[in-house]
Amino acid sequence: MPYRRTTVILLVTFFSLLLIPAHADTGESMPQQEASKPESPSAGTSAASASASVGTAAGAPPTSTAAGDEPAAGKPPVPDKVPVAAGGVKTIILKPGDKIPERKHPEYEDWSTPYLPKSMKGDVFVLAKAERDHFTRELVHVQWREMDPIDLYVIRPKGIQKPPVILYLYGFPTNNAHFKHDDFCEELTKDGFAAVGFVSAVTGQRFHDRPGRQWFVSELQEGLGSTVHDVQLILNYLDRRGDFDMSRVGMWGVGSGASIAIMAAAVDPRIKVLDLLNPWGDWPDWLAKSSIIPKEERPIYVTPFFLGTVKDLEPVEWLPQLKDRQVRLQFISEGMTVTPPEAKQRLQAAAPANVEIVHYQNAQEFAEKVDSGGRRFDWIKHQLATSGEVREANNPASQDKSARQR
User: What's the rounded Cα separation, in Å, for the pair 125 and 79?
Assistant: 10
Q: 319 — phi, psi (to 5°)? A: -55, -40
Q: How far apart are CA 288 and CA 226, in angstroms?
A: 23
Q: What is the pLDDT of residues 167-210, one digit of tens each?
A: 999 988 888 888 999 999 999 999 899 999 999 988 877 766 56
Let me know: does 177 contact 368? Beta carbons within 8 Å: no
Beta strand spans in 109-180 (E): 123-131, 135-143, 150-157, 165-169
The order of strands in the sheet holding 249-254 is 123-131, 135-143, 150-157, 194-197, 165-169, 249-254, 271-277, 326-332, 356-360
Reply yes or no on whether the pLDDT at 136 is more than 90: yes
pLDDT at 99: 57
For residues 149 and 356, the model is more confident at 356
Say how far residue 185 (Cα) sits from the centre of its chain. 15
pLDDT band with cut points at 50, 70 and 90 for residue 111: confident
Integer Cα distance of 17 and 85 in angstroms: 16
What band does 98 get if pLDDT is binned at 50, 70 and 90? low
Per the document, the length of the chain is 406
**Average pLDDT, stretch 28-44?**
37
φ/ψ of 138, rounded to 5, equals: -110, 140
Q: Give the sign of the dihedral formed by CA 347, CA 61, CA 406, CA 366.
A: negative
More confident residue, 406 or 352: 352
249-254 vs 271-277, strand pairing mode:
parallel
Which pLDDT score is estimated for 340?
95
Phi-psi region of 255 (alpha: psi -120 to 50; beta: other; left: phi over 0): left
Beta-carbon contacts of residue 250 (< 8 Å; ≥ 6 apart): 164, 165, 166, 167, 271, 272, 273, 274, 275, 380, 381, 383, 384
Distance CA 404, CA 396 (A): 12
Query: 312-355, pLDDT tens digit by residue?
Result: 999 999 999 999 999 999 999 998 899 999 999 999 999 999 99
| Cβ-proximal residues to 47 (8 Å cutoff; 6+ apart), any chain | 38, 41, 172, 173, 202, 203, 204, 207, 215, 216
- pLDDT of residue 389 exceeding 60, the answer is no
Q: Is the pLDDT of residue 399 over 50?
A: no
Identify whether the C-beta of residue 100 lies closer than 8 Å to the C-beta of residue 92. Answer: no
Structural domains in the chain, sorted by start: 8-405 (3.40.50.1820)
pTM of the model: 0.73
Give me the mean pLDDT over the 27-39 stretch.
38
pLDDT digits (tens, 9 = 90+) for 230-250: 999 999 999 999 999 999 999
Instruction: Tell me what the mean pLDDT of segment 267-295 comes to.
Output: 97
Q: Please check the confidence at residue 394 and state whether its pLDDT lies above 60.
A: no
Specify the pLDDT at position 119.
78
Higher pLDDT, 87 or 278: 278
Reply yes or no on whether the pLDDT at 115 is more than 80: yes
Amino acid at 210: R
Long-range contacts of 281-284, Cβ-Cβ distance < 8 Å, separation of 24 or more: 281/314, 281/315, 281/316, 281/319, 281/339, 281/343, 281/346, 281/347, 282/314, 282/315, 282/316, 282/342, 282/343, 282/346, 282/347, 283/220, 283/307, 283/310, 283/311, 283/314
Chain centroid to CA 5: how far?
24
Of 184, 158, 136, give the one whose Cα is nearest residue 397: 158
